[in-house]
Structure 1
Amino acid sequence: MLYIVLVLVLAALGLLVAALITANSLWAWISIGLSIVAGLLLVFDWLRRRKKRSAEADASVEETADDPSDETEEASESEEGDEKKPEDAEQTVLMPATGELGDADETEPAASETKPIGDPGEEKSDPADVAIVSELEIEVVVVDEYPRYHVTTCTWLETRDTIPLGIGEARQLGFTPCALCTPDAEIAGQHRDSA
């Protein structure tokens, strides 16, 4: 668009010079007309770019509003309370909806890191067991990038790195019980036996 405007301005300048040399007013009027067209093209281009930028800004605002990971990060930050952390410390954010555990700075994991293969199914918990375990402060473990919580003796865990959580907190964060180690049934059974 700018090249067209430049050509029009140069043509208008050439016609203006021709009008001065030949003393013909027609060339001057054509020069003025080309200058007006060039100005209108510049205004049109400016308005088009402005509209495009505002559309892109609106789209990015909508993407930010629709991004579920932002809500999870905000929820994690609000649960931390007023606890202060150094700015250069790496923060870990739990994202149970996708079963992921990610860095707050959204960096990709190193190529040498390997993810555990397979995901155990979800335990079909008895509602009575769920009522019992949700009141307890028993510790369970979760694995990076998987949505299940487990008892520490679960065979699926093997040598995987685990993160300890209270069972109530794990359920609040959206983690679900593992079908292999059936933590809800096991913990509820232990609680009944001890009571």
Structure 2
Amino acid sequence: MIVISLALILVAVALLVLGLASGSSLLLVVSIGASLLAAVALVAGARQAAAGRTSPLREAAADPAPDIPAQHVPPTTNTGESGWRQPPGPPVATASDTDGGTGAVPAYDDEPAAQEVTPEQAVQVSRLPDEVRVVDGRPRYHLDECAHLVGREHEPLPVAEAVELGFTPCAHCAPDTALLSQSGRR
């Protein structure tokens, strides 16, 4: 439509020039008619272009992520289980836990660093059926005999689930190295 409107504008200009040069009022009237048709074609083309741009947006708004599967997060309350497991994150503090009443959340000074693993090793570990140990609210997973579990309530968890929940391997007990070496002997 935009091409048609441009062609009509060129015709209108040519008719205007010819009408003025020859003194013909008929050419001037036809020039004005061509200009009006060009305006109508331009508006129609602009509306079509706008409709073409907004259609994918409307479809996306109606169905925001048709190819992305919904994540299932099992409930941890009223299931008969302990319900205390939560993925790692910043520690939750109460007013009595804060640093001198300033409102600062205390950091875990005793938290071990994360074990350095390659992406390939991480994928291999995430496919293993072995269990590791996690502590509620702490970011690492450990082997059963890890010193960082002493005196803390912990629970067994399949390593694949621990990785999926966002836990990372403890550098102290190096569970990924141990699990990968055990899986190589099977």
Give the TM-score taking structure 2 as reference length: 0.47
* Higher Rg: 2
Higher helix proportion, which one?
1
Give the TM-score taking structure 1 as reference length: 0.45
